[in-house]
Amino acid sequence: MSKKPSRFLRGSRINPIAITGRESVAELMDNSFLAYNAGRLREAARLFTERMLEPDVTVGMSLTGALTPAGVGMSCLIPLMQAGFVDWIVSTGANLYHDAHFALGLSMHQGSPFVDDVVLRKEGVVRIYDILFDYTVLLHTDHFMREISARPEFQRDMTTAEYHYLMGGYVREREGALGLKHRSVLAVAHECGVPIYTSSPGDSSIGMNVAEQALDGGKLRFDVSADVNETAAIVLDGKRRGRSAVLMIGGGSPKNFVLQTEPQIQEVLGIDEKGHDYFLQITDARSDTGGLSGATPGEAVSWGKVDPDQLAHSVVCYVDSTVGLPLVTAYALARRPPRPLKRLYDRRGPMLAALVRAYKKARRTRDQRAAAAGRGE
């Protein structure tokens, strides 16, 4: 009697085609990324392309780490936004600040991580690992940011999405004046209506320059509470219309800010919800040291951040973001046609109003139940 094959042996056989050098990135990943973190990266690319990019899915992205100085903004983030593959973003302020260098015609250079930093300081050169640039790049960008932020339309309380949208318009104008195009994430997000939030707006050179202006009487203030509610409204709208997905590059505060939208909806506002449908992270952090912000998809379920019924649709790739994101981007652009732009920035008002209505309805229900319990009903 033949033994029945184990259910654990239902996966495809490992039987790759020999690499010829003529493969596309997508073909290489499908045919040769079969195990270990290569296997997870292939799973990530397929999850993103085949499920997260369905028409009814709203895709949020978080960005952590010095990605834009390495050119990832131009190589990956801009094509993803233009293709309608990313609908809203939470980023460190540093990524958005360094993004502006390229739009201003300022240069970043490939270099070595093994140079003498004392010598670099004497020669006015700044280093981000193996990226080198002149110190005046910072001064020129600071001047541009302060000049724009001092304009009348900025002199009020605003969300970080409003600030980045307004700044993106000016960055786009500067690109045009310099004969440049599509070099800035901020400028393309402005064009595509992709709202960009910063979870810690004071923790970057953008926040530092805004703080300097506050000392001189500037009225610009970032409304972080409005950021929390707007991002929750985006997710609630996405869930009411279809599904919600999160693509997290790195960890840190931006990752948590993207994920905390569901606890904000469920735990704090009391609105009936189940969590994000798709969880995809590219990271080199570990959960056992406490360094994997927001931890694993399974742990995120315990917080209500991920829908437990959708946990199978979660992938974590333990790989350098500057390796993983370009490969996933190339795979998605090769395998999926562009989606219509959702232009969520333009819909912030109606989405927030819907969140407020749902919150008030949930609060009335909660108050009625508490009153009934008090009467012993």
Do 129 and 117 form a contact (C-beta atoms < 8 A)?
A: no
Measure the CA–CA gap between 145 and 200, rounded to whole angstroms. Answer: 17
For residue 229, being part of any structural domain is answered with yes
User: Residue 203 is part of a domain; what is its CATH number?
Assistant: 3.40.910.10
Torsion angles phi and psi, residue 88, rounded to 5: -155, 155
Question: For residue 61, what pLDDT is reported?
Answer: 98
Catalytic residue among 122, 305, 342, 361: 305
**Centroid of chain to Cα 372:** 43
Residues 360-372 have a mean pLDDT of: 87
Give the predicted TM-score (pTM) of the model. Answer: 0.94
For residue 9, being part of any structural domain is answered with no
Written as six digits, the tokens of 319 are 């790989």
Closest CA to 319 of 39, 119, 81: 39
Do 209 and 242 form a contact (C-beta atoms < 8 A)?
A: no
Question: For residue 299, what pLDDT is reported?
Answer: 77
Q: Can 305 be counted among the known catalytic residues?
A: yes
Question: For 36-85, how does the pLDDT look when each residue is reduced to its tens digit (9 = 90+)?
Answer: 999 999 999 999 999 999 999 999 999 998 999 999 999 999 999 999 99
Question: For 281-305, how does the pLDDT look when each residue is reduced to its tens digit (9 = 90+)?
Answer: 998 877 776 666 557 777 777 777 7
Q: Which residues contact 366 (CB under 8 A, 6 or more apart)?
A: 270
What is the domain range of residue 151? 31-370
For residue 2, being part of any structural domain is answered with no
pLDDT at residue 309 is higher than 90: no
Report the domain count for the chain: 1
The letter for the amino acid at 93 is G
Do 133 and 108 form a contact (C-beta atoms < 8 A)?
A: yes
Q: Map residue 35 onto helix, strand or coil.
A: coil
For residue 366, being part of any structural domain is answered with yes
For residue 376, being part of any structural domain is answered with no
For residue 97, being part of any structural domain is answered with yes
For residue 292, being part of any structural domain is answered with yes
**Centroid of chain to Cα 263:** 18
For residue 5, being part of any structural domain is answered with no
Question: For residue 375, what pLDDT is reported?
Answer: 72
Question: For residue 118, what pLDDT is reported?
Answer: 98
Question: For residue 377, what pLDDT is reported?
Answer: 66
Q: Where does the pLDDT of residue 370 fall: very low under 50, low under 70, confident under 90, or very high at 90 and above?
A: confident
Question: For 145-157, how does the pLDDT look when each residue is reduced to its tens digit (9 = 90+)?
Answer: 999 999 999 999 9
Q: Map residue 34 onto helix, strand or coil.
A: coil
